[in-house]
Structure 1
Amino acid sequence: MTVKVAVLGVGVMGANHADQLTNLVAGADVTVINDYDDERANAIADAIPGARVVSDPFDAIVAEDVDAVVIATPGPVHEKQVLACLEAGKPVLCEKPLTTDVESSLEIVKAEAALGKQLIQIGFMRRFDDEYMKLRALVESGELGAPIMLHLAHRNPAVPDHFDSAMIVKDCLVHEVDCARFLLGEEIKSVHILKPRPNSNARDGLQDPQFAIFEMESGRMVDAEAFVTTGIAYEVRSEAIFERGSAQIGLDVNLVRKSAPGIWGGTVTPGFKERFGRAYHDQLQRWVNAVKRGDETGNYVDGPRAWDGYAAAAVCDAGVRSLTTSTRVEVDMVDRASIPGA
């Protein structure tokens, strides 16, 4: 079986997905491309044998030559597009955010659960990265005892001019939210966003960097730095502190060089595609494989689900409120057990 895929939204992320599905992922064909920019859509489709452009995303979702959908459109349109995929009974890999508000994310969780099928996968690709999987396995093994704390860092060289302080929470810290939940296997209870002195290179009014404190359900503590105007490179690091040791990932230590006159160092990853390129591929490959098995199992996903998108939205909502009020804010979430199948 070859899974025929529609890609909605072919900006940087969607174009990368379309390219990987076409050239690197086994068992998938990109048959339909959709984007609000017809010129961009046609340029992407022209490079993919057999692909065609469908201007309306909802027509793309229900097209007969589409088995599954990748959503990489702007966040505000995700809700209707994901619900359309559920209505059509088609598996969907949705880039974060699931939706842009907590209420609609919860409604999607409920709608999927009512179907009795698992159709929605969320694009938290770090869960497919080899280093993150090894750190999660170390946590689960108990080899170093119980984890006590996590230190997380997310640094970008720059962000677009339209980025505001809340977007740092919703578009950058959201990854650390999912990493904390993934690595520790529990929900986040509260968020406190601290505001250091802004970077002089940050645009006026942009609170950058930000420092978040997550309190987990068990009482474990997580700190997460988001610094998106470093002007240097793309850095993502995680360190877990255990009862009997520690472990760190994201150090970029494949090559460390020493040279005269007294220079020590190497290179730093220039961007997210270089750092997580393999993770994006493995995410797509495992998703395609799950879609192939889905008719037999009723589970068309292999990775973070709609619930994880809802949980991230709830934590980020609390984070934005904390950013505004400079106080610790409790995360307001329903009990997962109250939604059978979530």
Structure 2
Amino acid sequence: MNRRKPLGIAVIGAGRMGTDHVRRIHEVTSGARVAAVVDVDTERAKALAARVDGCTAYTDPAAAMTAADVDAVLIASPGPAHEADLLIAFEHDLPVLCEKPLTSDAASALRVLEAEQRLGHRRVQVGFMRRFDPEYAKLKALLTTGQLGRPLMLHNRHRNVASPPFFTSSMLISDSVAHEVDATRWLLGHEIAAVTVLRPAASAGAPKGLCDPQFVVLETDGGALSDVEIFVNCGFGYQVQAEVVCERGTARVGDGNALVTNMAGRWGGTIAQDWSERFETAYDREIQTWIDATRRGEVTGPSSWDGYVAAAVCEAGVRALEEGGRVEVALMEKPALYR
């Protein structure tokens, strides 16, 4: 790769996430260009590629990854397609930013780990963007100083206005709580040992048959507890909040109080309505960091190991939801490549 030229990126998936990343690379970040757009829907791929000069539309990920102007891959396709796309990228030794999940289950994530290890070097950054959110980054930095003492509990709230029509009860864990799984591991520096899922009465605003909200308890191997309120049909806004309780103090992020107004006998602010608004800066920083690292010949950020662990914890969470009780998390020994 010629580091004096923009990094040529193939974006796989022309849905909402892929479209947002194409816009971001084209208009916000520096050092890269969208060289290819891939989607099974030919017209959708062509329509998105037409927004960027010199961008080619494909329906076959393998064809895009062999194009001469493609240096790296951003995977934003549905989770079940990730394993195949990642293995193709490995065949061509291409750097990848893979939106979460790494894959849709722990078994396929293990296959990705094994394939990456055969390369002998990391190629994947997983899209756990909360690590790049300014508030979460400040919280992590504070915990790293040790000023608050040992973390004992982490309280998380994750609320959406409404869930997509295809959402199932298990997807509250595999598609939403997956973010808190990674945030818990990253903030506390612990692995998750067991999961319990409690089911309060379903909200009247939830579609029939959907267990919403849910209350998830994550036990860590460091003795801390992390709880997650996941409520995907709260109706009023998109909120992601976290409060860590330590031996000598607490710290909280996500209150959204950047602007508070007082007028006409009332005070208050606004509540974001979706993830693209709440985490816009995090996504910008995530993609720019990946571009910069790739141009240096490095791979940083959440690894395939982090993606595998999230898949394994979420599988345990789904079992806890469906079977009841506490479910222990079984992990393979961490490979040397990811230590």
TM-score norm. by structure 1 comes to 0.96
- Counterpart in 2 of 1:268? 271
Matched, 1:249 2:253: yes
The SS at the match of 1:193 is: strand
Contact 2:162 2:232 in 1 (8 A): yes
Equivalent of 1:66 in 70, 74, 85: 70
SS of the residue 2:185 aligns to: helix
1:150 aligns with 2:169: no
Superposed displacement of residue 60, structure 1:
1.0
CA deviation map 1:65-93 (0-9, x unaligned): 11000000011111011011111100010
Match of 1:133 in 2: 137
Task: Give yes or no for contact 1:71–1:94 (8 Å, CA) kept in 2.
Answer: yes
Query: Corresponding residue for 1:278?
Result: 281
Whether the aligned pair in 2 keeps the contact of 1:121 and 1:304 (CA below 8 Å) is yes
Partners of 1:77 and 1:54 in 2: how far apart? 16
- Aligned counterpart in structure 1 of residue 167 of structure 2, from 160, 163, 168: 163
Counterpart among 308, 315, 318 of residue 316 in structure 2: 318
Equivalent residue number for residue 213 of structure 1 = 217
After superposition, residues 91-110 of structure 1 pair within 5 angstroms as 91-110=95-114
Higher mean C-alpha deviation, range 10-19 or range 252-261 = 252-261
Q: CA deviation at 1:110?
A: 1.9
In structure 2, the partner of 1:51 is 55
Give the alignment partner of residue 113 of structure 1, picking from 113, 117, 120.
117
Superposed displacement of residue 41, structure 1: 1.1
Instruction: Output the CA distance in 2 between the equivalents of 1:308 and 1:10.
Output: 25
Once structures 1 and 2 are overlaid, which stretch shifts more, 28-37 or 108-117? 108-117
Partner in structure 2 of residue 180 of structure 1: 184
- The amino acid of 2:315's aligned partner reads D
Give the CA deviation at 1:163.
0.3
Q: Give, in angstroms, the shift of residue 184 of structure 1.
A: 0.5
Contact 1:189 1:217 in 2 (8 A): yes
- State the partner residue of 2:332: 334
Q: Classify the secondary structure of the residue corresponding to 1:47.
A: coil
Q: CA offsets per residue over residues 308-330 of structure 1, 9 Å max, x none?
A: 00000000000000000111000
CA contact (8 A) 1:31 1:66 kept: yes
What is the SS of the residue equivalent to 1:341? helix
For residue 37 of structure 2, the aligned residue among 30, 33, 36 is 33
- Unaligned residue ranges in structure 1 (runs of 5+): none
Give the whole-Å Cα distance in 2 for the aligned partners of 1:165 and 1:188.
Answer: 21
Equivalent residue letter for 1:73: S
Is 1:86 matched up with 2:90? yes
For structure 2, the residue ranges without an aligned partner over 5 or more in a row are: none
Q: Distance in 2 between matches of 1:47 and 1:173?
A: 34
Q: Number of residue pairs matched?
A: 334
Q: Is the 8 A contact 2:195 2:216 kept in 1?
A: yes
Contact 1:151/1:240 (<8 A) preserved: yes
Contact between 2:49 and 2:55, CA under 8 Å: does it hold in 1?
A: yes
Q: Which residue does the alignment assign to 1:288? A: 291
How big is the shift at 1:39? 1.5
CA contact (8 A) 1:113 1:340 kept: no
Provide the TM-score with structure 2 as the length reference.
Answer: 0.97
Percent of aligned pairs with the same amino acid: 46
Tell me the amino acid that sits aligned with residue 336 of structure 2.
Answer: P
SS at match of 1:270: coil
Per-residue deviation, residues 25-77 of structure 1 (Å, max 9, x unmatched)? 11101111111111211111111011011121111122221100000001111
